[in-house]
């Protein structure tokens, strides 16, 4: 099977990543337990990750079925309730809060000095109407968007330290686009069900990390496929009617 992830652009349009716009993300996709204490638990461990010697570390995860106790594809309401439960059960020494949210688009959570932006996706109405041209706006609005991506943003930390912690959990990164001269790019983990992008940026001639992106492979591919359909959705509906 052809590896569709090889076609993903590895540039990083920061405005796209921070706004979490599904279609823009798919078009110029800049990135296909987190480093610190993340809201909830960790991912699923199914095996070891690659080691410098070519073997696998017994404790490393090769599966990324979600983030911190929330699985990919979870509906917006369910994720929001999960976060509310976390806030209610948070340690008194920690400050966990929902900073902002937009229904079926994103939930921005702050835990101490780290931001977690949960992003959601729902098939656009114009694409849904390719299959069923009778779908109404009201029917489409009733459907829940699903969790497909989380962006973790933190104060600048040495990139090597961040990479080391991620490798402890997930094994060696499969790819790296970090330029040795500019110190910009990403270390990439291609895991079962998910992708991780650890971004590097220069600061005082050293590499630092501010952002880490975790994505569902299945849902990201779906977004990319549906984005291709988005432009000719009207034409597809016309052709379908002509066949009837």
Per-residue pLDDT of the chain (244 residues; tens, 9 = 90+): 445 444 444 444 333 333 333 333 333 343 333 333 344 444 433 333 333 333 344 446 688 998 988 999 999 999 999 999 888 886 656 788 999 999 999 999 998 889 999 999 999 888 888 888 888 999 999 999 999 999 999 999 999 999 999 999 999 999 999 999 999 999 999 999 999 999 999 999 999 999 999 999 999 888 888 877 776 655 555 555 554 3
Does the global pTM surpass 0.85? Answer: no
Which residues span the domain enclosing 10?
Answer: 4-243
Three-state DSSP class for 238?
helix
Torsion angles phi and psi, residue 217, rounded to 5: -65, -45
Domain count, the chain: 1
CB 145 within 8 A of CB 120: yes
Q: What is the dihedral of CA 123, 136, 129, 243, to 10 degrees?
A: 170
At 217, list the tokens: 């492979």
């Amino acid at each position: 099977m052809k590896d569709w992830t090889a076609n993903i652009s590895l540039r990083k349009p920061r405005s796209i990543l921070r706004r979490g716009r599904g279609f823009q993300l798919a078009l110029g996709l800049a990135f296909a337990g987190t480093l610190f204490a993340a809201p909830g638990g960790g991912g699923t461990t199914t095996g070891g990750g690659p080691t410098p010697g070519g073997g696998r570390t017994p404790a490393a995860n090769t599966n990324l079925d979600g983030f911190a106790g929330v699985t990919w594809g979870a509906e917006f309401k369910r994720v929001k309730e999960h976060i509310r439960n976390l806030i209610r059960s948070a340690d008194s020494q920690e400050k966990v809060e929902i900073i902002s949210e937009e229904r079926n688009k994103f939930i921005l959570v702050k835990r101490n000095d780290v931001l977690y932006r949960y992003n959601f996706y729902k098939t656009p109405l114009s694409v849904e109407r390719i299959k069923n041209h009778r779908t109404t706006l009201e029917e489409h609005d009733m459907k829940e968007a699903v969790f497909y991506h989380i962006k973790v943003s933190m104060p600048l930390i040495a990139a090597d330290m961040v990479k080391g912690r991620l490798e402890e959990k997930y094994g060696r990164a499969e790819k790296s686009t970090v330029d040795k001269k500019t110190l910009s790019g990403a270390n990439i983990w291609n895991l079962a069900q998910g992708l991780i992008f650890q971004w590097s940026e220069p600061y005082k001639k050293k590499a630092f990390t501010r952002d880490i992106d975790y994505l569902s492979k299945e849902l990201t591919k779906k977004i990319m496929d549906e984005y291709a359909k988005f432009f000719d959705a009207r034409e597809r509906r016309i052709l379908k009617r002509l066949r009837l």
